[in-house]
Amino acid sequence: MSTDPSTIRLFARGMFKNLWTYLVIGATVLTIVLVPRHWYLFLLTALVILTMLSAYRAVTRIRVESNRQFAAENDARQKDISSLKAQVRDRDQEIARLSVRPYDEAHRRSARDKLETHSYIERDLLRFLLQRGETAGALIYQHSQVGDTFCTQALERLTHEGLLLVRTDMSRPTLEQPRFWRTNPLFEAVLQDLLYPRNEAQVTPAFFI
């Protein structure tokens, strides 16, 4: 049983309360019944008995309070354990979900073989469009660091290989409708895995984000 100050104070209050109650009851009884000849012996005996009863009730009260506190603390610990188990379960499910890639090994080999035939310029162009999404051709040329000719060749070759998709905006009544490029959604996931981290001999990227 705990013997910290709070427990001692609880015991003292309980014992005093019980003892005072018994003394009041005893005094009331003495005023009603005939007091024996050696009343002081009776009073001393009664005081000892009342003190023992008061101590017993105080100990019982402390034990009940301690059991209640222990039960409350145990419930709180069980709730914390359940919460931690739920977090671990959710984390394991997330890890399992992330470990399953949205493509098969044949698809990965096909994309890897295509990338091996391309230069760092074309691979950097793929990285550029992976991060920016669909982008107008004019912006692609603005961000190119290798000149318009190499940029045009990279766009044409990647589009021919099916790694890029091109869309022409026909809604504008101009002589030259703008064109927009984006990575093929069928290859986006596998390209993210194959192109990052960037490991090219050419330190400076061909396209700045």
Residue 207: how many other CB atoms lie within 10 Å: 23
**Are the CB atoms for 130 and 183 separated by under 8 Å?**
yes
Confidence of residue 35 (pLDDT cuts 50, 70, 90): low
**How much is the average pLDDT of 18-27?**
70
Q: Which residues, in sequence order, are bridge partners of residue 159?
A: none
Q: Which residues, in sequence order, are bridge partners of residue 179?
A: 168
Q: How far apart are CA 103 and CA 16, in angstroms?
A: 78
Q: pLDDT, tens digit, for every residue of 130-180?
A: 999 999 999 999 999 999 999 999 999 999 999 999 998 877 666 677 899
Q: pLDDT, tens digit, for every residue of 3-13?
A: 667 777 766 77
Q: pLDDT, tens digit, for every residue of 67-122?
A: 888 888 888 888 888 888 888 888 877 776 666 566 677 888 888 888 999 999 99
**Are the CB atoms for 116 and 168 separated by under 8 Å?**
no
- Reading the block at residue 180, the tokens are 């927009």
- Please report how many Cα atoms fall inside a 13 Å half-sphere around the Cα of residue 121, on the Cβ side: 18
Percent residues over pLDDT 70 in the chain: 76
Cα 112 to Cα 30, 60, 194: the distances in Å are 104, 77, 7
Contacts of 94 (CB under 8 A, 6+ apart): none
Q: How far apart are CA 129 and CA 133, in angstroms?
A: 5
